[in-house]
A and B are shown apart, each in its own frame.
Chain A
């Protein structure tokens, strides 16, 4: 997973709390993505960005917000956490050869 760094790796939130998942890439590429993966399921696109200052909704954006002030960073914010947001979150970046590179994931539990 060279090039895409996510933090934190694990987090437990109480219902109604907010938090930000951080994502940073060093491939100097414009396209970045946030996905969630529920247990035993595929990945669903939450938000994506095609460059600094440009973001757009994916398949499941409700309950999340993003920003992209720099090429390197693409944080995902959860507002008013709900149990339905318990999931594994992956940040990804398009890199050399059109390959999409993934971070190691952030395991989030909302209780």
Chain B
């Protein structure tokens, strides 16, 4: 079974600061996804990373994928309050049939 671990689980950061969320997974996969979830809401797709070395950026968020290390990072630059949410990474099994989520990182940005 694929295991997907995120750290930290909880993150409180001040506005304007930078930070990185890490996502490690336990088996071979070359497709990784990042989602955002606001309280009481569904999941919103942020990034789809489909190959080793993939890097994508949207606003203050940048995601990268290292398939050899089985590691993805979500970097937050100059955090603002609107980024407060829970962030999940998710990984495809190699056959693409199953899709496993990490434990989530609850981010709070303090003014």
Contacts and interface: CB of A to CB of B under 8 A. Distances in A.
Contact of B90 (A48, A59, A100): A100
Contact of B104 (A41, A45, A105): A41
Contact of B88 (A42, A45, A105): A42
Nearest to B90: A100
A61 B61 CA distance: 35
Interface residues of B, number: 20
B21 to A, nearest CB: 14
A33 B93 CA distance: 14
B82 interface: no
The secondary structure that dominates the B interface is loop
A99 B33 contact: yes
Contacts of B43: 43, 90, 102
Given A41-B104, A42-B88, A103 B97 contact: no
Given A1-B42, A98-B31, A100-B45, A33 B1 contact: no
A85 to B, nearest CB: 19
Given A59-B1, A104-B42, A43 B101 contact: yes
A33 to B, nearest CB: 6
Interface of A: 1, 31, 33, 35, 41-45, 48, 50, 56, 58-59, 90, 92, 97-105
B22 interface: no
Nearest to B100: A45
Most chain B CB neighbours (cut-off 10 Å) among A42, A97, A99: A42
B42 A42 contact: no
B48 A99 contact: yes
Interface string B82-107: 00000010100000111111111000
16 contacts: A31-B96, A31-B97, A33-B99, A42-B88, A42-B101, A43-B101, A45-B99, A50-B97, A90-B42, A98-B48, A99-B33, A100-B99, A101-B45, A102-B43, A103-B42, A104-B42
